[in-house]
Structure 1
Amino acid sequence: MNVNEATSHFTKRPVWAQIDLTAAAENMQRIRKHVGNTVSVCAVVKGNAYGHGAVEMAGVFLDNGADRLAVACLDEAIELRQHGITASLLVLGHTDGRRASDIIQYDIETTVFCYEDAKHLSEAAEKAGTSVRIHFAADTGMGRIGYQACEESIREIKKISRLPFVAAEGFFTHFCVSDIKDKTFTQEQFRRFSWFRRRLEEEHIPARHFHCCGSAGVLAYPEFYCDMVRPGIIQYGCDPSSEVTTEGYGLQSVMSLRCCITHVKMIEKGSTVSYGRRFTAPKPTKIATLPVGYADGYPRRLSNQTEILVHGRRVPQVGLICMDQCMIDVTEIPDVCIGDEAVLFGKQENEVISVAELADKTGTIVHEILCNINRRVPRVYIKDGQVVKRVEYLLNKH
């Protein structure tokens, strides 16, 4: 794919997050094969599908092996419904029961860990002449949301299960350290989860799905799959952590961040670049300017410590990264021109700068780097090497 296609022959902003739909489809096919046909796959597309575009990724995942979808909040679910996604759709986070009318209107499955919310749902469903499907959340060690493993929790869950017009679709928990090699605490979490499951069965409280494995769990804990898993970051071709990786699974990175050079100039020895004058040219230096900065999600903490691909070679980023622009030293790259492609993360020719590399340099995780790619960055979707869609969030063309 060439720059002209990605930028609509430079009539669009020459900054884009390139999303490989072929890679995303193949990733889901591999996940589906890995977990087997007896386990449901609930594809997590929260956070705008980790920055990749929730509407587009939802369709790809559902077409290639996912059975259902999950998001973090109700408004994310409504967005998917408004774009024609009809699959079962679970909100993993808290939804106030007073938003029951939206839950019912859009046929959303919601997480419950509070009787009052469940009561609102039941009353609203009765008025609407329908029922609401809920998933109970268990806090087995995350310390976030959900019922703790005790008899008081069982009593409240039982009370909720007796409410009319509320159907228990699932029961789940979330592992907090399944992405490390030490399995001790994850095994303890599963033991607590299993206690819940046994007590629910004893109290005759039905739940169609039990699920606890996210991405790291999918890779490292097949024995804990129950009947449903919730892959997240691995769908996008990234490792859950440095200790639990996708190596050997054939998963491919889906997103790359690219732009075009907007200016090239020579500066003299001793000249400085950008705010704070944090870079001083040690010799006559060719500087290229890129139209991307921290407002686009390219972290300022990378200033003077990262590299960018130009003509298939790594070049140093120099000076402080600005809100909307940053500079690179292209002295060693011959024939650099305005309009040439620069890759901030991703592959160009035979060289790769991974998202994990940037995450390591900024002391964060790949999830944050991907999710922070700003809405002013267009998403350019490619399939089999050809542009098939360009999404401009700022121009309301989503």
Structure 2
Amino acid sequence: MISKLQEKMNSYQRVWAEIDLDAIWENMIHMKENIAPETKILAVIKTDGYGHGGVPIARMLEDVDFMFGYAAATYEEAHVLREAGVKKPILILGYTFPYCYEEMIREEIRPAVYRRDTVEELAEAAAKAGKKAKVHIKVDTGMGRIGITPDDEGLDFVKFVMEHPGLEVEGIFTHFAKSDEADKTSANHQLELFQNFIDRIQSELGLEIPVKHCSNS
């Protein structure tokens, strides 16, 4: 029997997409099978899950133990997920504007930090919100967009953030520029830079950042 919805779809003149959540789930399982058992996944569902429906995807994955959380492009995208009842951590991958800092902190949405002025403004907003701002430090190992450099200057920034009142550094991450290419030379070089920088944070600063992530698919 053809449902009324299916009849409507069949007669629709414009392009439409039918999203199979089972297929998305199967993809997640395949990814999980190819990583270490203790490693978790951060699902990037920016721009409404790339048009596939960010809220339904997040709801499907909300109770999955190997899902650390989600990533969005803007505060507004992250806010939509929170409004829909999503509880897991949400990371904003790019720049976050100061106008939303207080509300973002209250909703426990994690911004990416890589500028000192952002850190100072977040600390002020955290004081007003009455709770710490959880942040992830962005490291530029070759993407060339945003992030601190993995060098002495970058170490100074990490120390600055880690010691800043009102902030809790939950994670640190980088982004591969050419992970989809068959030749992994570039991605492997970025990974080496990132790992060496993490080692320096631990050995020279004596600091430990709980979540470290970079292996975007």
When normalised by structure 1's length, the TM-score is 0.51
Q: Shift in Å at residue 95 of structure 1? A: 0.8
Partners of 1:212 and 1:137 in 2: how far apart?
10
Counterpart of 1:48 in structure 2 is 48
Structure number with the higher helix fraction is: 2
Equivalence for 1:37: 37
* Offset from partner CA, 1:269-301 (integer Å, 9 cap, x none): xxxxxxxxxxxxxxxxxxxxxxxxxxxxxxxxx
Matched to 1:76, the amino acid is: E
Which one has the largest radius of gyration? 1
1:205 lines up with 2:214 in the alignment: no
Is the 1:134–1:167 contact (alpha carbons within 8 Å) kept by the matching residues of 2? yes
State the match for 1:160 in structure 2. 161
Change (3 A) 1:131 1:196: same
State the alpha-carbon separation in 1 of the partners of residues 9 and 78 from structure 2.
35
Q: Unmatched 5+ residue regions in structure 1?
A: 216-398
Structure 2 counterpart of 1:96? 97
Quick one: which amino acid aligns to residue 209 of structure 1?
V
Pair 70,59 (structure 1): closer, same or farther in 2 beyond 3 Å: same
Please name the residue that 2:112 is paired with: 111
1:285-323 alpha-carbon deviations (Å, 9 max, x no partner): xxxxxxxxxxxxxxxxxxxxxxxxxxxxxxxxxxxxxxx
Q: Could you tell me how far 1:8 is from its partner in structure 2?
A: 5.0
Equivalent residue for 1:194? 195
More relative contact order, 1 or 2 (CA 8 Å, 6+ apart): 1
| Residues 186 and 9 (structure 1), Cα distance of their counterparts in 2 relative to 1, 3 Å cut | closer
Q: Distance in 2 between matches of 1:9 and 1:20?
A: 15
What are the within-5 Å matches in structure 2 for residues 115-126 of structure 1? Answer: 115-126=116-127
In structure 2, the residue matched to 1:5 is: 5
Counterparts of 2:181 and 2:165 in 1: how far apart (Å)?
42
Equivalent position amino acid for 1:214 in 2: N
1:1-398, aligned counterparts within 5 Å?
2=2, 4-8=4-8, 15=14, 16-64=16-64, 65-201=66-202, 202-215=204-217
- Aligned-residue offset at 1:199: 1.6
Cα pair 1:73 1:95 within 8 Å, conserved: yes
User: Aligned-pair RMSD on alpha carbons?
Assistant: 2.1
- CA distance in 2 between partners of 1:61 and 1:203 (Å): 36
AA partner of residue 117 (structure 1)? T
Percent identity of equivalent pairs: 34
Relative to the length of structure 2, the TM-score reads 0.90
Q: State how far apart, in whole Å, the 1-side matches of 2:156 and 2:18 are.
A: 50
Structure 1 residue 29: Cα displacement: 2.4
Instruction: Tell me the CA shift for residue 88 of structure 1.
Output: 0.8
* C-alpha contact (below 8 Å) 1:97/1:116 kept by paired residues: no
Q: What is the distance in 2 between the residues matched to 1:35 and 1:159?
A: 33
Work out whether residues 175 and 214 of structure 1, in 8 Å CA contact, stay in contact via their aligned partners in 2.
Answer: yes
SS at match of 1:119: helix
CA separation in 2, counterparts of 1:90 and 1:77?
8
Contact persistence 2:109–2:134 (CA under 8 A): yes
Q: Is the 8 A contact 1:137 1:146 kept in 2?
A: yes
1 or 2, which has the higher strand percentage?
A: 1
3-state SS in 1 of match to 2:38: coil
Number of matched pairs: 214
SS in 2 for 1:148: coil
Deviations 1:107-163 (A, max 9, x none): 101100001111111111122221011000000011011011221121122112111
**Does the 8 A contact of 2:114 with 2:137 survive in 1?**
yes
* Structure 1: distance between partners of 2:12 and 2:102: 40
SS of 2:212's equivalent?
strand
Is this contact kept in 1: 2:106–2:129, CA < 8 A? no
Residue identity opposite 1:186 in structure 2: A
2:79 counterpart SS class? helix
Post-superposition Cα deviations, 1:29-87, rounded to whole Å, max 9, x if no partner, equal: 22223324300111110121011010011112334552311111111100100111111
Quickly say closer, same or farther: Cα 1:164–1:80, change in 2 above 3 A: same
After superposition, the Cα gap between the structure-2 partners of 1:166 and 1:4, relative to the gap in structure 1 and judged at 3 Å, is: same
SS where residue 125 of structure 1 aligns? helix
